[in-house]
Amino acid sequence: MKTQKTKNDGSFQEGFDELEKIVKQFEEGTGDLDESLKLYERGLVLAAQYKKRLTAIENRVKEIDAKFDDGDE
């Protein structure tokens, strides 16, 4: 069995592309049940990984905004 990537490796775009590929395979109904289960699990791993990355990016944007906020709010 191949080792699943679970860290924040690869670019964001690569992970998004992989998720799109998985979704397309499900929409087409290709693959057997065992393969579909593996794809489903991989999709969940990617979704959780990139949700975490998006949250970190969002927090960083807020920090940058706060740093340059002139207090007019």
Cα–Cα distance, 7 to 49 (Å, whole number): 7
pTM: 0.67
What pLDDT, on a 0 to 100 scale, did the predictor assign at position 9?
Answer: 55
What pLDDT, on a 0 to 100 scale, did the predictor assign at position 32?
Answer: 86
CA torsion, ordered 1, 7, 19, 40, to nearest 10 deg = 50
- Counting Cα atoms < 13 Å in the Cβ hemisphere of 36 gives 10
Task: List, for residues 5-62, the tens digit of each pLDDT value.
Answer: 444 456 888 888 999 999 998 898 877 889 999 999 999 999 999 899 999 999 999 9
